[in-house]
Structure 1
């Protein structure tokens, strides 16, 4: 395992070896590895010759799963820039925080969602905005057709304006007229700022170096073993590439082995998703529990061609036994569940395809150490629940400009505290038993109560609030919010409307309950655990 190479070196090796192999397909258009090499070089040239960006500067990329994503990301990395992956679903407040916190000097954004960023970008450090339309890398006639329908027929493109705007196609045309210069980076150099709530709930950037990402790429490839053959795989990619799980699988592991990814821009459109898969003999599928369930509820899913499917990876949220068993029944493919986090680039452990243990997240990937500790930091023996800690080359450098938060998470010996409670079995398999912190996972996305409570508490009619996760059949968990009114006229609809204005949809509480007061410790800290326990008892009473 060579983890001292930079992403650029890995990229260059892949483009030399697999230039003719298909790399990414989206909306009927395929780009080969060679196409990605050529187009990303054009984007690099534009950044170097037509912006003030210098190696080490940050560039935010706010794109869904479209062909422009790998072109922009590899182009930025070739210019020596640091990629700030930005969720297209972010609200104005969330985008503004991330752009300012990272100090991003440029933003690449899809026109369909550009109005949100346009409302706040003047209040950030961004100097250049590159706007792309959904089919910008399609052939001329198809590009015009798709973009015109999206804008004028389906009305998918809102009105927006950036003072410092350039169109993606214009940027690429300018880049094609001048040579680029690949910027060498070391294994220790920062490559990606991946934002996360970490284990404390405050949005911060995990600093992922070239070594972190290349190491995890190698670890995942070794963990998959013979099931990932060079130049022969065709994986379905419904999970967003801006999420580190999908980024590592599709942009690192698959691309560098000459393999093919089918990008799904909108996996929430299940009928459209299933229609896209018709006639395709895909070999791999990366998803999570809620997505598997959604697909299997579609009447056309069972009729797809699963004859070549040999690998289904699950991560991002807990995989239920019922879902895993039904998926295997329908597709003939065993689901292999893994575990990871943004701070570990992300994969920590994975179920070997030939020895899956349902209910576990598998064994540690190569070159990775795991242990569990008690509240005092003492190591615990196997089969004893404790906080899971991880050490390995995939563990982040730290949190961007947050040395105290870094020190709280990574100790002097390099052990990262995950904040998750786990048991390590005698055979090395790991079982996640609980979350130490109060994080809520909604459809695989981390939701942090502190953030929700801070936002809601700013409402003039709210005295205080507490957010907890409650079981939900569709999303795994949903947010329930307990509110103490400052004004008796406050309604649940008013609270939800306020949340929708200030946070991404998956964070918006599903249920609102008003209370006269909230349970607290003797120093005044709200006891979310008591509220969760109350909800659990209600659930148990209903199901009993």
Structure 2
């Protein structure tokens, strides 16, 4: 299969078979090329405020200069905990330009989750929006953080930002109380970073393609998330692969500016990769800080044309369920990219009917900078597969013993390419690769004669909630700290809205335990998407002779009890 690579015959004429990331000396060179080429182009639009590529260039240089002035050793890790606001991209790029490694953090993390990522990564500085500072306050004493940069949502919105900050804090009350006033925390306000940084020199460290750029955390089989080490070369390669894949459509868009809807959170690897893909071509990103606010989201979309719309199935379905979504002008929409979770045929059909733009599904993983396989971008019919490998990506299918499977035979998907990580931060990654260097994805697939891949199942017990990886081991470990629980086990069950939902089977401590007790504990200790949406009390859990919980038995029980979910 790897010799013939049947998928190559399916490539459109103007999509190359391979890409060459080494045309750049570093990721920094790519960023600087973008800033030079598109200096006057609008780069981000957020709440009606526009920043050009030149604006972002200057802001990122100020961030870089300020960071270097703090005396933190080159190569140190800097954490970034923000939603999609104008300061996100200049901060991330500034971290990299200064010679540091960035670890993006989900702003909705609980204190427990935040503490683990900060400690595992060894982060010394954190940039955080004040809406989420309370979680940081809870764990700061238990981390290695030496500097805190506090930002407000409207910090890069000029006069409008004053109004935005007032509404968020005083009207909507979205900033929980926190206290980080102790001088030992070395807190600096984000506007001060920009003000001081623009007057400081930037020492341009010699960046190479082999240097670590991003520590992107993903779920671990032990229940603790692991940091995938993404080098500058990995990231450049993924951006080039995806840009090449979009080319058959984007090359025909006769517009001065191409607008990409950025509702996916930039701390997610899918959105991060798309941001770099877009920068290479001078795209404008329509930033959506809170996509859950569907009326506000639709209002934003009504204000300018949008050409590329990447999102997860949950978000597409949520928009389609809004009665006024169909009233938008979709005449400019050319690419609808579904990723992060399986897209359903029903949602794809509704999307095509309403927008006139077909939904194209793909597959990626954190460890591959979200690039992997995709359906041909010009295909108009939804086929339910995850497509074919993108340029310079090779995929093989193996059984549990490493034997390569034939076409249409099920096995584990293993992937190789310049975008694929070499391993996890401070972890032994030798078992994550085959003997010939392919990364084991843990997904069970089959490949047909044309190279199209069907995702059959996941080898591990991971639950995929709205595109986010949820690992049962982590949830079980946390929930077993609840005094009301004697034993528990977690599975994923089908969910029309989220793709999958978390279900927990609980052996309660006594008959007085209620589902509300379980929900309350979960909400205090787990990010929202990890919290069990379904709770069932049982007298005991099915286990093997050695005491291992048999999750398959629980899945069978759920199906038996709920035949309508089949």
Do these two structures clear the TM 0.5 threshold for a shared fold by scoring above it?
yes
Q: Which residue of 2 aligns with 1:369?
A: 394
Q: Which residue of 2 aligns with 1:473?
A: 496
The separation in 1 between residues aligned to 2:303 and 2:286, in whole angstroms, is 13
Q: CA offset at residue 429 of structure 1?
A: 0.8
The range that moved more, 160-169 or 267-276, is 160-169
Q: Which residue of 1 aligns with 2:267?
A: 242
Q: Contact (CA 8 Å) 2:559, 2:565: kept in 1 or not?
A: no
Q: How does 1:340-489 map to 2 (within 5 A)?
A: 340-355=364-379, 357-403=382-428, 406-489=429-512
Q: Which residue of 2 aligns with 1:213?
A: 235
Q: How does 1:20-419 map to 2 (within 5 A)?
A: 20-49=40-69, 51-139=70-158, 141-162=159-180, 163=182, 164=185, 165-198=187-220, 201-229=223-251, 232-250=257-275, 252-355=276-379, 357-403=382-428, 406-419=429-442
Offset from partner CA, 1:73-122 (integer Å, 9 cap, x none): 00000001100010001000000000000000000000111111111112
Q: CA offset at residue 176 of structure 1?
A: 1.3
Q: Contact (CA 8 Å) 1:279, 1:304: kept in 2 or not?
A: no
Q: Contact (CA 8 Å) 1:104, 1:126: kept in 2 or not?
A: yes
Q: CA offset at residue 441 of structure 1?
A: 0.9
SS of the aligned residue for 2:354 comes to helix
The separation in 2 between residues aligned to 1:293 and 1:143, in whole angstroms, is 31
SS of the aligned residue for 1:389 comes to strand
CA gap 1:424/1:201 in 2 versus in 1, 3 angstroms: farther
Q: CA offset at residue 293 of structure 1?
A: 0.5
Q: Contact (CA 8 Å) 1:65, 1:265: kept in 2 or not?
A: yes
The range that moved more, 155-164 or 235-244, is 155-164
Q: Which residue of 1 aligns with 2:5?
A: none
The separation in 1 between residues aligned to 2:29 and 2:394, in whole angstroms, is 27
Q: CA offset at residue 201 of structure 1?
A: 4.2
The separation in 2 between residues aligned to 1:543 and 1:161, in whole angstroms, is 47
SS of the aligned residue for 1:479 comes to strand
SS of the aligned residue for 2:418 comes to coil
Offset from partner CA, 1:220-262 (integer Å, 9 cap, x none): 0111123234963101010000000000002x10012211110
Q: CA offset at residue 200 of structure 1?
A: 5.5
Offset from partner CA, 1:474-503 (integer Å, 9 cap, x none): 111111111112333322111111111111
Q: Does 1:498 align with 2:485?
A: no
The range that moved more, 461-470 or 302-311, is 461-470
The separation in 1 between residues aligned to 2:167 and 2:219, in whole angstroms, is 37
SS of the aligned residue for 1:119 comes to helix
Q: CA offset at residue 533 of structure 1?
A: 1.6
SS of the aligned residue for 1:271 comes to helix
CA gap 1:539/1:347 in 2 versus in 1, 3 angstroms: farther
Q: CA offset at residue 287 of structure 1?
A: 0.5
The separation in 1 between residues aligned to 2:333 and 2:364, in whole angstroms, is 24
The separation in 2 between residues aligned to 1:390 and 1:447, in whole angstroms, is 22
CA gap 1:317/1:527 in 2 versus in 1, 3 angstroms: same
TM-score (norm 2): 0.93
Larger relative contact order (Cα-Cα within 8 Å, sequence gap ≥ 6): 2
Any gaps of 5 or more consecutive residues in structure 1? none
The separation in 1 between residues aligned to 2:287 and 2:146, in whole angstroms, is 30
SS of the aligned residue for 2:553 comes to helix
The range that moved more, 147-156 or 329-338, is 147-156
Q: CA offset at residue 385 of structure 1?
A: 0.9
CA gap 1:357/1:429 in 2 versus in 1, 3 angstroms: farther
Q: Contact (CA 8 Å) 2:223, 2:477: kept in 1 or not?
A: no
CA gap 1:155/1:132 in 2 versus in 1, 3 angstroms: same
The separation in 2 between residues aligned to 1:200 and 1:301, in whole angstroms, is 42
TM-score (norm 1): 0.97
Give the alignment's Cα RMSD to 1 decimal.
1.4
Q: Contact (CA 8 Å) 1:279, 1:305: kept in 2 or not?
A: no
SS of the aligned residue for 2:128 comes to strand
